[in-house]
Each structure stands twice: as structure tokens, then as C-alpha cells.
Structure 1
Amino acid sequence: MENHFQKKPRILCLHGFRTSAKIMEQQVGKWPESVLGKLDLVFLDAPFPAEGKSNVEGIFDPPYFEWFQSNQDFSEYRNFEECLAYLEDFMIKHGPFDGLLSFSQGAILSAALPGIQLDGAALMKVPKIKFVIIIAGAKFGGNKFGLPKLAANAFSSPIQTPSLHFIGEMDFMKEEGTALLASFVDPVVMQHPKGHTVPRLDEKAVETLLDFIEKIQKMPSQKA
């Protein structure tokens, strides 16, 4: 029992729009060791090369990737099905994973995944996602983003999966990230003063995150 409690949650990390696994690793790498030491983090590049300019050019080196593509007003999506197949394949080969830690486009995707999985639309060959940590996320089918076909029922009932949401005071996605909270049962919310970024953690944020991790560790262990 003791060993089970101490097992680090294995977490798949999904990066933001037109960035990369390496970039997200650097962003999360600024978190204190008191948090990072308790997590087994795996960073994955999205399946598709960026189709346009990245906002992080000049800050982080290329290559840059994106999880899926859409038209200008986010009403139609391309490559969403392929993205889910790519994720599932990686989870089968490198899992099992306990949960997801994601930012921006990766967070929009991972917020929908528990519902997509519950609906039986995808990720049926891998264990149930036990929790999500969402940084600067949003909701498919909300005010800004349309609903991809495979995510049609993702938010049709409240999501029971434990969730932790980072919301930035200056983030242009703040409204979307706040609206997403209503789709989750008992979401844990962490406000921070910054914009659209993976924030550094202050003392209070570290405490909240460690509490969340402790609750996760007490959940039943995944089977391969």
C-alpha cells in the first residue's frame, strides 16, 4: 500500500499551438523541484508541422507543431480524427498514463478527451483518463471554438474527471477558460496574474498543486 501511495502519477503533456514538446518541457521546467519531483512527465510533439507563423519565433527554437487545424472562425476542423488516433497510438506504446497536463491548444484538446473517451468516440484502447491539469484552456462548442464531430458529446454531461485549471488574469483566453469550468464537477481553480503562458508557481500555487497531486495518488492505480 505504501508503495502505491508513493507512485508518481505518469502524465502526458500536450503543448500549445505551434510550439513543441521541447518548448513545453522548458516552460514546465521552471516549476519548483518540490512539484516536478512528484510527477513522471512525458512530453509529446503534436502530429502536424505548423501551417503558419508561430508566436514563439525568436523566443523558442523551431520546429513547431499543432494538434489539429481549423478554418478562420473555428467552425470546421481538419485532422482531428488523425490527432486522436495519433494520441491513442502513443498512449498504447508508451503508457499507461494516469492523466494529462496541457497548455493552450493542447489544453482545449485535453479538456474534451475525458468526455470523448466516455462517449466511446476515441481512446477506447487505453485506460480511462484519471485527471486533467489545464493551463489556458477553452471549451469546444463554447463561444469561440466550434465542436469537432468526434467531440460532439464531449460536454453533453458534467465531466466527473478531477481537474485543475490555471487561469491568467491577463490571458486573452481568460473568458474561455473560465467558461470551461462549468463543464467540470468540482474543478480546482488557480488564478495567476500573467497572460497566455505556463506560469511560474508561487507558494500558494505549489500548495494547491501538491494537494491535487496527493489526491490523485490516492486514486486506484491504472492497469496496463
Structure 2
Amino acid sequence: MKKLRVLCLHGYHGSASVLRDQMSALTSVLEPLAEFVFVDAPSRANGDFGWWHAVQDMQGFDADPGVIVYKGWRNTYDWMISLFKNEGPFDGVFGFSQGAALAGLLVGLRSMDGKPSEQTPLAFDFAIMAGGFLANDPSLARLYESPASYDLPSVHIIGRSDSVVPSQHSRMLASKFGKPLILEHDGGHVIAARPEIRRQLASFLKQRM
């Protein structure tokens, strides 16, 4: 039986190797079902980190200092389209923390019929997010506005004691999805691998095969 291919997106100060270690308790159980593809954010090639930096919008005379923009988003956007084109296909995406927020945005760029277009340049069938949150760059809000794009199977791993991304923020992200499976645990900002979470993730992946 052919394995699923899952693109894995690390957190803000993370990397492909860090995420591989963070997910090891999960992937050791799920490897019979899926190939997990770990990638570094393109900023790391230039000595930076993260998929973007959330900064105040200081452009323009009347710029609202309370407005946040994602510096580096365009580079990540272009790089991600190239990755899917050259390294794909991917059946699904997995993201942790900022990587989970990115995964949520990628869903908004997803082609529902599997045929990439200028407006929907990506194709995949499911998303898994741990410690995720909604993007707060107003220019990206439009990506959440297509219910059809978000009507795909998704898993949301949420820590009740998460002090980095409060659980309600992860729930707000989950609410954008048509079929969210919410898996809660008592821990904090981690990729939990409790037996029940491993079991439900295995069941989720088997249904996608």
C-alpha cells in the first residue's frame, strides 16, 4: 500500500531537524502510513529564521501602528509554490506553532479540484495542525474566506496548558475548517504523542489512504 506524503512545517525558531525530533514520538508510530517530509523555511538559507516576522506596519503617512504585517511572507509564498511544483505532490500538510499557522494559510491557497491555478496554486487533501493560530496580517484574511477550500479533513492538536498559543487561538483556527477533529491534551506548547492522540491520528491517516 502506497504511503501518504505529508509536508511538515516547523515553528518560528525551529528547523526541519528540530521538528523531526519534536515529532519523533508520533512519526515512529505513523511511519507505516506516511512519509513525513521535513523542510527548512527559506529564510534559514540567509541566516534568518521563521516563515515570516510579524512587525508593525510603518508604511505610509497614515499607517496604523497597531496593524501587523508579515515581513517575509511573499518569499515564503513563492518558495512554497515552487516546493509543491518541484518536490510534490503532497497528500497533506502538518504544521507546529507558526508552521501550523502557515498550514492554515496554505489551505486557503488550495485548489479544490486538484488543478493548481493562479489564485489556488496548491493541491493537497488534508491538514494537521498543533498549537496553531490565525494569521493577524489583514492582507491575508482573504485566504480564510473560501469555505470550500477549508472543507477538507483536518486535525487540531491543542494543549490546554499552552501559554505560547492559548488554546482559544487554536480553536479559532479550527473554526475555519469544515471538518475539524480537535484532539486536546493537558500539556503545553508541544506536539503531544499521548496514546489516544497517536491512535486517532493513525485512524485519520488510514481514512485518507
Correspondences of 1:42-191 after superposition (within 5 Å)? 42-49=37-44, 65-71=49-55, 75-118=68-111, 124=121, 126=122, 128-140=123-135, 145-147=136-138, 149=139, 151-158=140-147, 159-172=150-163, 173=165, 174-191=167-184
Q: What is the letter of the counterpart of residue 28 of structure 2?
A: E
> C-alpha displacement at 1:164, in angstroms?
0.5
Which residue type is aligned with residue 158 of structure 2?
I
> What's the counterpart of residue 205 of structure 1?
197
What is the identity, as a one-letter code, of the residue corresponding to 1:210?
A
Q: Distance in 1 between matches of 2:35 and 2:27?
A: 14
How far apart are 1:43 and its partner, in Å? 0.3
Letter of the structure 2 residue corresponding to residue 71 of structure 1: V
CA offset at residue 152 of structure 1? 3.5
Q: Normalising to structure 2: TM-score of the pair?
A: 0.83
User: What is the aligned partner in structure 2 of residue 60 from structure 1?
Assistant: none
| 1:50 to 1:68, Cα distance in 2 relative to 1, 3 A | farther
Q: Which amino acid aligns with 1:69?
A: H
CA RMSD for the aligned pairs? 2.3
Q: Secondary structure at the match of 2:161?
A: coil
1:8 aligns with 2:3: yes
Q: Distance in 2 between matches of 1:36 and 1:74?
A: 42
Query: In the alignment, is the contact (CA less than 8 A) between 1:129 and 1:161 conserved in 2?
Result: no
Q: 1:84 touches 1:122 (CA, 8 Å); kept in 2?
A: no
- Alpha-carbon distance in 2 for matches of 1:211, 1:121: 34
Extract unaligned runs of 5+ from structure 2: 57-65
Provide the rounded CA distance (Å) in 1 between the counterparts of 2:132 and 2:103. 9
How far is the alpha carbon of 1:65 from its aligned partner?
2.3
Partner secondary structure for residue 144 of structure 2: coil
Cα deviation for residue 215 of structure 1 reads: 1.3
Instruction: Call closer, same or farther: CA 1:121–1:114 in 2, change over 3 Å.
Output: farther
